[in-house]
Amino acid sequence: QVQLMQSGAEVKKPGASVKVSCKASGYPFTTHHMHWVRQVPGQGLEWMGIIKSRRGGTIYAEKFQGRVTMTRDTSTSTDYMELSRLRSEDTAIYYCARDFEWSLDTWGQGTLVTVSS
Amino acid sequence: QSALTQPASVSGSPGQSITISCTGTNSDVGGYNHVSWFQQHPGKAPKLILYEVSHRPSGMSNRFSASKSGNTASLTISGLQAEDEADYYCISYTSSDSWVFGGGTKLTVL
């Protein structure tokens, strides 16, 4: 079955960067785009961006432009989301989610990133 | 891109029906049929319950339905059950070639 397995929790200091991975299985990896979404504890979902299926083109939410980089390794069916210049407000659960019919049909389990000095 | 507008909370008794609205603009909800709804239980990842306004994923209960009129999409849950108590989010594709979520609605089953 379709599965997205994300990397484990991270603790980072302000100003550092974090790179979260999302390994896909159960479907042809290059046939679907991948979204990244975050959720600050106790708050709503926030769309961060999308990496396109084949050529790896990206679209980032305006809020994160300049700080986020999404990449894809087709040899290992893994997508990555790197967020730089971290601040305390970036403490959140980060999710990858497969694109399907302009929606997000399968989600990873989430990766908690804590930013603290 | 501003978040889509959802009521912060709704409630209903078992067996009843409730509706959650999701209001955007001509540049998102009103401009495309690419509107989806998600259910999220505490501590869990969101789960897709409807996409392309009113399409249900395979295996999703037909107690969940949705529609769209102008700039507002609506999710209806009929025959409320205790397990429906959760947070619900809408999302829409936008004219900026991006996506935007609603602020979320907490459903309480009384």
Kindly report, residue by residue over A89-108, the tens digit of the pLDDT: 999 999 999 999 999 999 99
Query: Does the distance separating the beta carbons of B99 and A50 come in below 8 Å?
Result: yes
If you average pLDDT over residues B41-65, what whole number do you get? 97
> Which residues of chain A neighbour B57 with C-beta distances below 8 Å?
105
CA distance B80 to chain A (A): 23
The beta-carbon neighbor of A45 closest among B55, B89, B96 is: B89
Interface residue ranges in chain A relative to chain B, Cβ cutoff 8 Å: 35, 37, 44-47, 49-50, 59, 61-62, 95, 97, 100-110
Contacts of A36 in chain B (CB under 8 A): none
Both tokens assigned to B40: 């999220």
SS3 letters across B40-99: ECCCCCCEEEEECCCECCCCCCCCEEEEEECCEEEEEECCCCHHHCEEEEEEEECCCCCE
**C-beta neighbour count of B58 within 10 angstroms:** 5
Q: What pLDDT score does A54 carry?
A: 74
Q: Is A56's pLDDT higher than 90?
A: no
Q: Give the closest of B38, B57, B98 to A61, CB-based.
A: B98
Question: Is A91 in contact with A43 (CB distance < 8 Å)?
Answer: no
Residue A24 burial (10 A CB sphere; 0-12, 13-18, 19+): buried
* Nearest-Cα residue of chain B relative to residue A49: B98
CA distance A5 to A20: 11
Do the Cβ atoms of A26 and A1 come closer than 8 Å?
yes
With a pLDDT cut of 70, the percent of chain B lying above it is 100
Q: pLDDT tens digits, residue range B2-47?
A: 899 999 999 999 999 999 999 999 999 999 999 999 999 999 999 9
Residues B89, A75: Cα–Cα separation, whole Å: 34
* CA-wise closest residue to A99 among B28, B60, B97: B97
User: Is pLDDT at A55 greater than 80 in this prediction?
Assistant: no
List the single residue in A49, A50, A103 with the smallest CB-CB distance to B51: A103
